[in-house]
Chains A and B, each alone.
Chain A
Amino acid sequence: MPNKTFFWFFLPTGLAMILFIGLPIISTGIQSFYAQHDQVVKEVKKCDPFGCTVSIVVDNEETSKIREAKPLGKFNGFGTYTDRNHLAVDEIKKFWNETENFGAFVDQVTNLPFYKALIFTLTYCLFVTPNVLLLGFIIALSLNAVARKIRGPLIFGTILPMIVTPLVGSLVLFWMIDSQGIIGANIQNLMNDPYLSLKSSKTLTWITIIIYGIWHHSPFAFVVFYAALQTVPQEPIEAAIIDGASRFQRIKHIVLPHIYPVVTFVALISLMDNFRVFEPIIGFSAEGSAQSLSWLIYDNLVNEEVILFGSAAATSMMTIIGIAILLAPVLIRTWKEFKTAR
């Protein structure tokens, strides 16, 4: 396609992305290198309906002078990235020198918020992504073999986990898995342990979140695979049947190669979405046992009265880098294909 045609075809979408995603990423990147100015504080008397106290406030006159001189804040370089709440470089050095064996060192490191979150995030990705792909593909094949008349309702049922608003979906599920809820109580019966609770132990919470992840994301893989199966041409399949190829061989040699671009796509997107796992943690109130990178960002931006934009920006940038690293193998393959296609 000539460059000029390409430009006009791509202009609208490109413009939207640059304006609303590209520029914000650049500005987030810049902000992650800055910290707030030193706050000048003074002690004053504060009175409310319950009495008076003397304590500190920010001296706005003094602080605004500093702020006006440098509106972006204090340049901090990689200061935010390396502080204790992120990569914790100094702390890790200290632990390395102080701890006696490797186990103790790992214990210390995983006590740091960033690494704690990273471990959960990676575990979640590792278990959820392949299962989502596999389950989604099997359901797609399976539904594709069902009589066309009843497919509509079946498809709707299949994608229900994805379309019910997570806000309430997880609220209801959270209640269902309570030790008195329908699922929780029946698991207790099944396991014959009246004190079993899915919410009290870390391991069980992780397993619950991972199962929820697979349940919630499989419909996505299913929808894309199902649509892609509709584009598979008939002739080669019929030829293969005549040649006596088994079902498995047909899928492997005809169906999969045909929908390969779509498989790549689903893998990329699932991996990325799973790396940004966040909603189930809030939905299942699992902050105590499981924290992810996206949850840390949310925590910095929403949970506290004072919004820590620098921290959130740094974690966001590291999330992007993390995703880039995770996707690298798939991307390199795409690049190779792209070159051969040229």
Chain B
Amino acid sequence: MDYGLDTKSTRLKTFNTIFIITWLLIACFPFIWTFWGSFKVRADFFSRSDWWYAISAFNTLIETGGQFTTNAYTQAWTEGEFWKASKNTIIVTVFVVSISLFLGTLGAYALSRSTEKYAFWILMAALIFRAMPHITLVSGYLFPFFELQIWGILPTTIVVLVAINQPFTLWLLYSFFKTVPKELDESALIDGCSYFQAFRHIIMPVMWPGVITAGLFSLMLAYNDFTVTALLLNQENHTMVPKIQSYLGTNQHEGNLMWAVSAVVSATAPLFMLVMFFQRQVISGLTAGAVKG
């Protein structure tokens, strides 16, 4: 499994360990800080007098009588109706990921196995499509959606997120299918399989690293998108991110910053599970592919 490193070289091993630890510190520190701070009151976590307050819990002690408080969590989930937003997010995410992958794998497989000129131009068009800033696209959708009376509902947002993400999914999967040798499915075609059968039995077992990766990115988009969800959903259907935005308050009116912080921490927990699942699949996909290949 080791490409860059020889297990025997201890010096490299040490270097590698130090590098990973440093990187993880840089990568995780803001989140760990957020996680820690989510159990404090606003005056401590967002203090401009001294950052040490977030550690010593100066105001948390005064206001709640303890070092830690879970007020932000309980309030965001009950009063803040974060549960409703979570429910909507789950619906949106599940549909966006499955539809994106379904459309994407078919399209990308076709593109990677086509030798016609138009395949290249389709890829170029997809790239140009992706270059369009989302905010302009969504502004363009608003009026037609209102006119057709499909604004505000979840299916509209799901379809839009799938479509907006297609160029990326196509390109990603296309690049992965390119790393799968053509001989694999060509031999199946010679054996009398149809293209769909070849796709089903030869490609699908080996495509998991790519598909899981594409799935992860679709998931991130559906999970974290603000532009589309904030503009295309009505209040009943708001997903987590517009909900968090509504906790931040406006220019003229105070928000509940700690609700937003605790909401973000809560929203990250399910992703932890998903990433664990993802990384196991990437590796098991490899073994499955190796056996069949």
Contacts and interface: CB of A to CB of B under 8 A. Distances in A.
A165 B172 contact: no
Q: Taking chain A's interface residues, is the majority helix, strand, or loop, or is none over half, making it mixed?
A: helix
A19 B163 contact: yes
Contacts of A231: 176, 179-180, 206, 209-210, 286, 289
A213 B240 CA distance: 24
A301 B48 contact: no
Interface in A234-279: 234, 237, 247, 250-251, 254-255, 258-259, 261-262, 264-265, 268-269, 272, 275-276, 278
B129 A25 contact: yes
Given A229-B3, A247-B6, A16 B103 contact: yes
Contacts of A180: 47-51
Interface string A312-342: 1100100110011001000100110010011
A223 B136 CA distance: 29
B30 interface: yes
B238 to A, nearest CB: 13
Contacts of B148: none
Given A10-B111, A21-B137, A144-B4, A152 B276 contact: yes
Give the one of A168, A219, A312 with max B CB within 10 A.
A168
A234 B216 CA distance: 26
A12 B113 CA distance: 17
B221 to A, nearest CB: 11
Contacts of A338: 119-120
A52 interface: no
B220 A172 contact: no
A12 B103 contact: yes
Contacts of B51: 176, 180-182, 185
Interface residues of B, number: 114
A13 interface: yes
B27 A215 contact: yes
A247 B20 contact: no
Interface string B82-122: 00000000000000000000111011011101111001101
A88 B112 CA distance: 43
Interface in A273-303: 275-276, 278, 294, 297-298, 301-302
A151 B279 contact: yes
22 contacts: A14-B107, A24-B141, A154-B24, A157-B27, A158-B27, A160-B27, A161-B30, A163-B268, A165-B241, A168-B264, A175-B46, A178-B48, A215-B27, A227-B212, A254-B3, A261-B178, A272-B130, A298-B135, A301-B135, A301-B139, A320-B128, A338-B120
Interface of A: 1, 3, 5-6, 9-10, 12-14, 16-17, 19-22, 24-25, 27-28, 138-139, 141-146, 148, 151-169, 171-173, 175-176, 178, 180-182, 185, 215, 219-220, 223-224, 226-232, 234, 237, 247, 250-251, 254-255, 258-259, 261-262, 264-265, 268-269, 272, 275-276, 278, 294, 297-298, 301-302, 307, 309, 312-313, 316, 319-320, 323-324, 327, 331, 334-335, 338, 341-342
Pick the 8 closest A-B CB pairs, nearest first: A9-B110, A20-B163, A13-B107, A141-B4, A265-B175, A145-B5, A261-B178, A323-B131
Interface of B: 1-6, 12, 16, 19-20, 23-24, 26-28, 30-31, 33-34, 37, 45-51, 54, 102-104, 106-107, 109-111, 113-116, 119-120, 122-133, 135-137, 139-141, 159-160, 162-164, 166-168, 170-172, 174-176, 178-180, 195, 206, 209-210, 212-213, 216-217, 220, 223-224, 226, 240-241, 244-245, 248, 257, 260-261, 263-264, 267-268, 271-272, 275-276, 278-280, 282-283, 285-286, 289-290
Given A171-B248, A251-B4, A275-B131, 9 more contacts: A1-B113, A1-B114, A6-B116, A13-B107, A22-B125, A145-B4, A167-B244, A169-B30, A247-B4
